[in-house]
Structure 1
């Protein structure tokens, strides 16, 4: 759309609303709305004590066909990743993100072949770190950036995602304040991915196909 066409469309909208260009009162209302980030109606299902939010997240994620493990700290992550890959007969090969929170996980003691960074589309197993999670739907929240390439969320056949228990919120509305606190208002990551269970699709006969648009398997590791 050209600038002149866009201005013509916006001009018609203003006239239909009885507004005038650069109306200071309307600008004030818009700026207040953006600055305040008001919260809408929030469902009650996720309004629980935090331990119960974590339990709800686990139930909902498992219902979406994800598997779950809980570990005490990042030092236990390499053993958990190795166990999950081994028990599912997946290759001992892993493409992982360079998130600094994973620096406490020493994969050097495992038999895994480790690569870092962006997936080239040939990786069978990927490891990412989620920014947060949503209890009411069992959803992981992952942001884009050099530390956690978005390609790791969609290209590997099997996806392992780490999330801190403390970053599990009751609902979607609880996630955005977490992101603003970390990145600052107006500095959000370019992409925000919400992932609930492994990728799947159903045709007109409702035949479920896993891995249609992304990983076939999703394993979530909660770090207490």
Structure 2
């Protein structure tokens, strides 16, 4: 018997159950099927421009930078400008996301490379699945379209986020994710990213880039 089995056996003995009782099994199955929503914070119950403004405010409070553009066609130029202002090389890595592929990268001087990162890339871009306004958090789903290594390994992480994908709260985000992928078909990982990587473990001194990117730049596409 494994340690896990021993723990569950001890819990069942203390509760006086075996774990196979029909009502208990039915209750668990029903909860998994319904995926009930939690309590929704009042501040997240916004619509339209107010919702986008809350997301931007919260993201910037978490030390991310946010720039708004009108259409997806404006994204490459916005990223090129960000790299220039940050004194970074005009090179970027991305995955196979069709939304990114359809953008006019050729109209910029950026050098584009494709595929997951091996840790040698300075800057990379992914397309976010969603943004959560209550905390300014990005929801990133893993896969060849948007490899998780592009979120975690480069020093400068760039995320493209469509305004229509900004939701107020985590519960709404999870509902959208289940609808998009279907139960039992979820992506291998779902990463929540709130600002750049940082830590204050050593003498309470804030250090950026402690466990990942030292900078997070969000391109919010309004159209």
Which of 152, 155, 167 is 1:154 aligned to?
Answer: 152
Q: Which residue of 1 aligns with 2:80?
A: 82
Q: Which residue of 2 aligns with 1:170?
A: 168
SS of aligned partner of 1:45: helix
SS of aligned partner of 1:27: helix
Compute the TM-score of the two structures, normalised by the length of structure 1.
Answer: 0.94
- CA shift for structure 1 position 205: 2.6
Which of 120, 137, 147 is 1:122 aligned to?
Answer: 120
Compute the TM-score of the two structures, normalised by the length of structure 2.
Answer: 0.94
Which of 58, 67, 70 is 1:69 aligned to?
Answer: 67
Alignment partner of 1:13 is 2:25:
no
Q: Give 5+ residue unaligned stretches, structure 1.
A: none
Q: Give 5+ residue unaligned stretches, structure 2.
A: none
Kept in 1: contact 2:124–2:150 (CA 8 A): yes
CA 1:217–1:12 in 2, change beyond 3 Å: closer, same or farther? closer
Which of 79, 95, 101 is 2:99 aligned to?
Answer: 101
- CA shift for structure 1 position 18: 2.2
Aligned length: 222
Kept in 2: contact 1:97–1:129 (CA 8 A): no
Determine the C-alpha separation between the residues in 2 that align with 1:6 and 1:57.
40
Which deviations, in whole Å up to 9, do the C-alpha atoms of 1:63-120 show, x marking residues without a partner?
1111111112211111111111011111111111211121321211211111011001
Which deviations, in whole Å up to 9, do the C-alpha atoms of 1:110-165 show, x marking residues without a partner?
11111011001100010011100110111111011111111001111111100111
